[in-house]
Copies of this chain bind each other. A is one copy, B any other.
Amino acid sequence: MGALEQGHYMDELEENDVELESDSEPEPELESDKEVKEAVRVLLEGIGEDCEREGLKRTPHRVAKAFREGTRGYNQKARDIVKGALFPEAGLVHINGHTGAACGMVLVNDLDLFSYCESCLLPFAIRCHVSYLPSSNRVVGLSKLSRVSDVFAKRLQNPQKLAKEVCAALDASIKPAGVAVVLQCSHVPFPETFVSSSDWNQVCSSARLGALEEDHAQWNDFLALLKLKGVNGIECSNTLQNWCPSLKNTVNGKNMGNNKSYSSMVSAVVSIIRAIGEDPSRKELVSTPYRYVQWLMRFKTSKTPEFKSILNLNANAEELKKEAIMTNGHGSKICYELSLPFCSQCEHHLIPFYGSVHIGWFGNAERCIDRAHLLALVQFYACKLQVQERMTRQIAESIHAWCDKGVAVVVEANHICMISRGIEKVRSSSATISVLGKFATDPVARASFLQSIPKCTG
């Protein structure tokens, strides 16, 4: 369908003096990065990918960098962060009360953090709320509450452990009269459970020490302040049973490809865990390599068996599209199928992106397709290493192949790689559009389709 004229492309690049895939600033390579890169190559081959194709060439490098930055907390200490930012503040004399550096409660709410799930190595999002009761005539710089929390977020974690560690570290480094940490955590969904972005697994965890643990009234003040700041839904569910989707399935070797490749993939993940400074034999991490490999195998280049059975077809896109042509027609000229959920994986960072696909086409009695089949088509193109632009084009082109009057496809997505790594743009999202045939030449049809898509309210 699509065509990449490599020769022409390289010429053009040379002309413009634009290098493909070179780093602007070469960094010295760390030993641990080398190990992670090698492991990522094993994983890419294990899911049937060609490490030398353009989009993947530097993926090992990017993944190594992301792991290094994402787990930098192993090399940081809360004490070092806090000690430069303790400021003397006046206490109270002859007045009964809690104020300023004499236990006047301080809350910093809605700190957006990211961590890595120790069960499956995928990122999870954290809305972090921290409170402490200053004592000994000193307060700490507000930003340090965020920085200390981030030290522990940048490790392999689960929500409860993270809350406890942040709380204990703040207690030890600030020595306050009390400290409380509440975390609202959201786990990246797995493709098979993903219906919409509100389906992220949510867990709330908390930890408290000192007066905030012992004095019920102080704890109530904290909860009241949180409510005041618009923080709701913090009924703490300390059970982690349904936290990580990977914990729902027993790990086994079924559908894992040949055993040799499978065991080398597992070893590769073990070496990643070791390279970031963790102990792969720690109880919570023992099964993590199996779970990560199992998750990764969902994005194997060939079609997965589960996918076949859903469709009850000899599943490749060509056959899919024949099956999908149905005889009962729509009356309207432009047909829509909107808000088809998908969960894919960014081939540049091996991190999920997810969202909705909206499809419009010029249909008639002969060219009709039901939602289930379009959903299957979307999942077919989502369940592999992808980029959003390509996925949008592939969906459009495959529909165009059986319905060539006109196709429009809009993909809305949230890229975890945009928010959990480097640039950390937590509110950002993206949209791509493909228009073929009549939709390309008729702006009115295009506008009509775009208007039919439900607006994002976020």
Give residues in A with beta carbon < 8 Å to B: 1-6, 8-9, 12-13, 16, 18-25, 54-55, 80-93, 95-101, 104-112, 134, 136-139, 141-143, 146-147, 150, 175, 217, 220-221, 224-225, 227-230, 348, 387-390, 392-393, 396-397, 400, 410, 412, 415, 417-418, 421-437, 439-441, 443, 446-447, 450-451, 453, 455-458
Q: Report how far A421 CA is from B152 CA in the complex, Å.
A: 21
**A16:B142 contact, CB within 8 angstroms:** no
Task: Determine if A143 and B3 form an interchain contact, defined as CB atoms under 8 angstroms apart.
Answer: no
Known A80-B24, A134-B389; contact A441-B88, beta-carbon cutoff 8 A: no
Decide if B99 touches A397 in the complex (CB within 8 Å). yes
Closest 7 CB pairs of A and B: A2-B90, A100-B393, A99-B434, A97-B436, A217-B443, A230-B456, A224-B450
> What separation, in Å, do the CA atoms of A431 and B396 have in the docked complex?
50
Min Cβ gap A288→B in Å is 27
> Within the complex, what minimum Cβ distance (angstroms) separates A186 from chain B?
14
Q: Is the Cβ of B4 less than 8 Å from the Cβ of A389?
A: no
**Which residue of chain B is the closest to A20 with respect to CB atoms?**
B86
Chain B residue at minimum C-beta to C-beta distance from A454: B228
**Beta-carbon contact of B432 and A92 below 8 Å:** no
Residue pair A396, B99 in contact (C-beta under 8 Å): yes
The distance from the CB of A223 to the nearest CB of chain B, in whole angstroms, is 9
Residue contacts A-B, CB under 8 angstroms, 11 given: A1-B90, A3-B93, A24-B81, A54-B87, A105-B433, A106-B389, A109-B430, A134-B389, A220-B443, A225-B450, A228-B453
Q: Given A4-B90, A90-B393, A143-B421, list of 12 further CB < 8 A pairs? A: A9-B88, A18-B82, A96-B437, A98-B433, A98-B435, A101-B393, A139-B389, A217-B443, A220-B447, A225-B431, A230-B455, A230-B457
Contact of A110 among B20, B137, B428 (CB under 8 A): B428
- Please judge, given known A-B contacts A83-B22, A112-B425, A138-B9, whether A93 and B415 are in contact too, CB under 8 Å: no
Chain B residues with CB under 8 Å of A139's CB are: 387, 389
Of B12, B389, B417, B451, the contact of A224 (CB 8 Å cutoff): B451
Q: A4-B91, A96-B441, A410-B228 are in contact. Are A427 and B112 (CB under 8 A)?
A: yes
Q: Is the CB of B429 within 8 A of A229?
A: yes
Chain B residues, Cβ within 8 Å of A110: 425, 427-429
Query: Judging by beta carbons under 8 Å apart, are A101 and B389 in contact?
Result: yes
Query: Are B228's CB and A435's CB within 8 A?
Result: no
Taking a contact as CB atoms under 8 Å apart, the answer to whether B225 and A5 are in contact is no
Q: How far is the CA of A45 from the CA of B5 in the complex (A)?
A: 66
Contacts A107-B432, A434-B104; is A146 near B217 (CB within 8 Å)?
A: no
Determine the chain B residues whose CB is within 8 A of the CB of A412 once the complex forms.
228-229
Q: Hey, which chain B residues are within 8 Å of A146, CB to CB?
A: 418, 423, 425, 428
- Decide if A456 touches B229 in the complex (CB within 8 Å): yes
Contacts of A98 in B (CB 8 A): 433-435, 440
Instruction: Specify which chain B residues have a CB less than 8 angstroms from the CB of A106 in the assembled complex.
Output: 388-389, 430-432
Q: List B contacts of A456 (CB < 8 A).
A: 228-230
Residues of B within 8 A of A81 (CB): 24
Q: Is the CB of B229 within 8 A of A431?
A: yes
Give complex CA distance A171, B337 in Å: 34
Contacting residues, chain B, for A418 (C-beta < 8 A): 108, 142-143, 146
Task: Name A21's contact: one of B20, B84, B450 (CB within 8 Å).
Answer: B84
Across the interface, which residues of B come within 8 angstroms of A93, CB to CB? 1-3
Q: Are B221 and A446 in contact, CB atoms less than 8 angstroms apart?
A: yes
Q: In the assembly, what is the distance between CA of A426 and CA of B417, in Å?
A: 18
Partner of A389 from the list B19, B89, B451, B455 (CB cut-off 8 Å) is B89
Give CA–CA (A360, B279) in the complex, Å.
53
Query: A221: which of B348, B424, B433 is its contact (CB, 8 Å)?
Result: B433
